[in-house]
Homo-oligomer: A and B are copies of this chain.
């Protein structure tokens, strides 16, 4: 995470917004590998030392931008029942994370992250969305696994394969994982 606390609306928040925007623009114009701190600073209208002071180095800045891009911008859809809700969420999560852009953001988030805060934030986003899906199901009177179990049995296999073993990742895989975590006792053999 960025090294200073950000007061929403303050100068610090404005600097962050303009630096993040500069990274996104330059990355789409020139490609991510061409980015340098001086280029980003020039586009954002700040000095390079502002960036070094706040983010340490380019890798940490890219990590912050990646986490921002990985933040979910919608609430999980309501399809009337837990299996449909969790399946739809898992399919969309896999689709986004396994895309070339998603993979690049995950790598960036992990890489420039000496204290693990950004990786933890990515996981917290997923846990929050799953928590919403499960709470809605519980409100309908459905039996639900807990959030950590869904992380272990649905999120972790998808993320592990994206990073280490990317063959054969498709919607059917996400569907099988969800079916597994929701299978009632006696239905898993």
Residues of A within 8 A of B (CB): 107, 110-111, 116, 119-120, 122-123, 151-153, 155-157, 159-161, 163-166, 177, 183-189
Separation of A119 and B119 alpha carbons in the complex (Å): 18
Say yes or no: B164 contacts A123, CB within 8 Å: yes
Say yes or no: B156 contacts A161, CB within 8 Å: yes
Say yes or no: A153 contacts B153, CB within 8 Å: yes
A177: which B residues are within 8 A, CB to CB? Answer: 152
Say yes or no: A151 contacts B165, CB within 8 Å: yes
Separation of A23 and B157 alpha carbons in the complex (Å): 32
Question: 5 extra interchain contacts, Cβ-Cβ under 8 A, other than A120-B164, A153-B153?
Answer: A110-B111, A110-B163, A119-B164, A152-B160, A152-B177
Q: Among B123, B160, B186, point to the contact of A185 (Cβ < 8 A).
A: B186
Name the residue of chain B whose CB is nearest to the CB of A187.
Answer: B185
A111: which B residues are within 8 A, CB to CB? Answer: 107, 110-111
A184: which B residues are within 8 A, CB to CB? Answer: 189
10 shortest interchain CB distances as A-B pairs: A185-B189, A156-B160, A123-B164, A152-B157, A186-B186, A156-B157, A156-B156, A123-B165, A119-B164, A185-B188
Separation of A123 and B159 alpha carbons in the complex (Å): 13
A122: which B residues are within 8 A, CB to CB? Answer: 164
Q: Could you pull out 22 A-B pairs where Cβ atoms are within 8 angstroms? A: A107-B111, A110-B110, A110-B163, A119-B165, A120-B164, A120-B165, A122-B164, A123-B160, A123-B165, A151-B157, A151-B160, A151-B165, A152-B177, A153-B153, A156-B157, A156-B160, A156-B161, A157-B157, A159-B164, A163-B163, A185-B186, A185-B188
Separation of A83 and B102 alpha carbons in the complex (Å): 37
